[in-house]
């Protein structure tokens, strides 16, 4: 199936053909429609899959995992339009970006804007090769939506920084090599007393404790910093400029959360199998059918909006509109997960073992995990507040 071939970049037809041919030659067919997410956090899953290893090596060598980054940072130095073409062609063959990570989605673009050259050269090539994994140390027990209330202390010790405090909900912290963290460098000011620090997770004094989620996975942790020494050069931007940098990084995060995923299994064939068909060959439940159509229409409308916004964006980067998109996408994916579980009936509540198939167990876990979509990256209500204030200009 070839979808989304009309793009912002129809003018570069030669590049599209080149990308199509290269992907056809290098993307392992065994990985088609396998959720790329499987490999993002888990080193064990990635290491155990030879197809994934080949795919990652091919994309890393080509620089197409971060196509718009300069080659000295591990990218391919392509235009935004060419980067989009690669994404579209990947989607069309059920492929995924093998190095998509917190590094590529959040820290990389932020370092490109705010990092100094030494920091870029030190970190970006390792993000581009997926050798250095990152986690995001923002949230704290008393600082989620009100992130600027964070209290993790960072003291200037002259030749280094000293960090003490606790983070929470830190995705992948137990597998991460490094953490980009917000720390407090001035207690007399709220937003103006925060700094942005890069912390090596192997430093003495760091402990990451996994938290078990409702979906059964343990993809995030509590992280404790006990007098952790951090080199002076790991501060990004100026001291106390962290809030500005964090806001930009959160835009990149929401933008990536609202990106259209390639790994969406079509619902209709599953509905045919589980619910059956009527005399006309339609799904044998008018109500379910109507809700599936509504979800599919919302999805199509969403895709069209994403494409329009991308075409309109002059610099190609994310704007406040990503908060609106993030909420829309969360709603579509949550509704879709509900539909999937509903059509599977009792089989859609499988947890482990027989008599459930892999797909049925995955549906249960995905449904439970979908609840988190409207929380992480900024909660639903807070994103609506951002849309109201910054996009619609409503009074605060
Ligand atoms: C699966 C998952 C992964 C995550 N990964 C990370 C990570 O890697 N790194 C990281 O730093 N954080 C991570 N988070 C944390 C996430 O960013 C926070 O959970 C989120 O910002 C909400 O903060 P909170 O949980 O403290 O909720 P609260 O801020 O306590 O919010 C509770 C409720 O009150 C509402 N509310 C709060 N303030 C307002 C307001 N002003 N107006 C209207 N309603 C409001 C919220 O919308 C929500 O419904 C993750 C969370 C989840 C669920």
| Three-state secondary structure readout of the chain | CCCCCCCCCCCCHHHHHHHHHHHHHHCCHHHCCCCCHHHHCCHHHHHCCHHHHHHHHHHHHHCCCCCCCCHHHCCCCCCHHHHHHHHHHHHHCCCCCCCCCHHHHHHHHHHHHHCCHHHHHHHHHHHHCCCCCEEEECCECCECCCHHHCCCEEEECCCEEEEEEEEEEEECCCCCCEEEEEEECCCCCCHHHEEEEEEECCCCCEEEEEECCCCCCCCEEEEEEEEEEEEHHHEECCCCCHHHHHHHHHHHHHHHHCCCCCCCCCHHHHHHHHHCECCCCCECCHHHHHHHHHHHHHHHHHHHHHHHHHHHCCCCCCCCHHHHHHHHHHHHHHHHHHHHHHHHHHHHHCCCCCCCCHHHHHHHHHHHHHHHHHCCCCCHHHHHHHHHHHHCCCCC
Q: Are strands 220-231 and 160-171 parallel, antiparallel or unpaired?
A: antiparallel
Provide the pLDDT confidence category of residue 315 given band limits of 50, 70 and 90. Answer: low
pLDDT digits (tens, 9 = 90+) for 328-381: 999 999 999 999 999 999 888 887 777 888 888 888 888 888 898 899 989 999
Specify the residue with its C-alpha closest to ligand 1, atom 23: 144
Distance 151 CA to ligand 1 centre (A): 16
pLDDT at 109 over 80: yes
Beta bridge partners of 199: 179
- Residue 90 to residues 23, 27, 374: CA-CA distances in angstroms? 7, 9, 26
Among residues 23, 87, 91, the alpha carbon closest in space to that of 263 is found at 91
Annotated catalytic sites, by residue? 253
Nearest atom of ligand 1 to the alpha carbon of 167: 11
Q: What is the pLDDT of residue 4?
A: 43
Task: Give yes or no for residue 68 having a pLDDT over 60.
Answer: yes
pLDDT tens-place string over residues 161-209:
999 999 999 999 998 999 999 999 999 999 999 999 999 999 999 999 9
Task: Give yes or no for residue 221 having a pLDDT over 90.
Answer: yes
Which range, of 46-55, 67-76, 283-292, averages the lowest pLDDT?
46-55
Is the pTM of the predicted complex or chain greater than 0.95? no
List the one residue out of 79, 100, 95, 108 whose CA is nearest residue 12.
Answer: 79
Higher pLDDT, 59 or 215: 59
pLDDT above 70 as % of the chain? 91
Pocket of ligand 1 (CB under 6 A): 135-136, 138-139, 144-145, 169-171, 220, 372, 375-376, 378-382, 385
Residue 143 Cα to ligand 1 midpoint, Å, equals 8
Name the least confident of 172-181, 211-220, 243-252: 211-220
- pLDDT higher than 90, residue 29: yes
Question: Which pLDDT belongs to residue 8?
Answer: 46
Give the pLDDT score at 11: 63
């Amino acid at each position: 199936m070839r979808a989304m071939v009309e793009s912002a970049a129809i003018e570069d037809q030669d590049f599209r053909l080149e990308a199509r041919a290269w992907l056809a030659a290098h993307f392992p067919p065994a990985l088609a429609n396998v959720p790329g997410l499987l490999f993002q956090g888990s080193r064990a899953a990635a290491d155990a899959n030879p197809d994934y290893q080949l795919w990652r090596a091919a994309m890393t060598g080509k620089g197409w995992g971060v196509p718009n980054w300069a080659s000295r940072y591990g990218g391919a130095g392509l235009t935004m339009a060419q980067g989009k073409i690669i994404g579209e062609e990947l989607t069309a063959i059920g492929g995924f970006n093998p190095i998509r990570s917190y590094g590529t989605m959040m820290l990389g673009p932020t370092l490109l804007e705010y990092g100094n050259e030494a920091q870029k050269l030190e970190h970006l090539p390792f993000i581009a090769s997926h050798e250095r994994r990152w986690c995001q140390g923002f949230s704290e027990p008393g600082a989620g939506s009100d992130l600027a209330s964070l209290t993790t202390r960072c003291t200037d010790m002259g030749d280094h920084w000293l960090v003490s405090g606790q983070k929470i909900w830190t995705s992948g912290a137990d597998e991460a090599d490094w953490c980009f963290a917000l720390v407090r460098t001035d207690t007399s000011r709220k937003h103006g007393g925060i700094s942005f620090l890069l912390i090596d997770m192997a430093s003495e004094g760091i402990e990451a404790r996994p938290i078990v989620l409702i979906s059964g996975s343990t993809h995030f942790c509590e992280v404790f910093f006990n007098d952790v020494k951090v080199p002076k050069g790991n501060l990004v931007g100026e001291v106390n400029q962290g809030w500005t940098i964090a806001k930009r990084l959160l835009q990149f995060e929401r933008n990536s959360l609202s990106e259209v995923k390639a790994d969406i299994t079509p619902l209709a064939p599953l509905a045919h199998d589980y619910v059956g068909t009527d005399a006309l060959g339609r799904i044998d439940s008018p109500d379910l059918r109507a809700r599936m159509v509504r979800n599919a229409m919302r999805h199509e409308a969403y895709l069209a909006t994403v494409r329009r916004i991308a075409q309109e964006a002059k610099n190609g980067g994310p704007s406040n509109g990503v908060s609106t998109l993030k909420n829309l996408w969360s709603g579509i994916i949550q509704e879709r997960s509900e539909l999937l579980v509903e059509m599977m009936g009792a089989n859609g509540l499988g947890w482990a073992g027989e008599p459930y198939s892999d797909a049925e167990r995955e549906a249960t876990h995905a449904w439970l995990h979908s609840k988190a979509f409207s929380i992480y990256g900024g909660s639903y209500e807070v994103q609506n507040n951002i849309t109201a204030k910054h996009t619609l200009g409503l009074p605060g």
